Amino acid sequence: MTETSAPRQSAVFLDRDGVLNVYLPGDYVRTPGGLHLLPGAAQAVRALNNAHLPVFIISNQQGVAKGLMTGADLLHIDDALKRNLAESAGAYVEQSYYCPHAASDDCPCRKPKGGMILQAAREHGLDLATSVFIGDTETDAQAARDAGVGAFVLVLTGKHQNAASFPEATDHIAETLGDAVEWALLRRVGA
Q: Is 127 a catalytic residue?
A: no
Q: Any bridge partners for residue 14, and if so which?
A: 57, 134
171 belongs to the catalytic site: no
Q: What is the rounded distance in angstroms from the CA atom of residue 28 to the CA atom of residue 34?
A: 9
The catalytic residue among 17, 73, 78, 140 is: 17
Buried b (16+ CB within 10 A) or exposed e, 20-41: bbbbeeeebbbeeeebebbebb
CA dihedral sign of residues 181, 155, 176, 90: positive
With beta carbons less than 8 A apart as the criterion, state whether 88 and 37 touch.
yes
Q: How many CB atoms lie within 10 A of CB 10?
A: 21
- Residues labelled as active-site residues: 15, 17
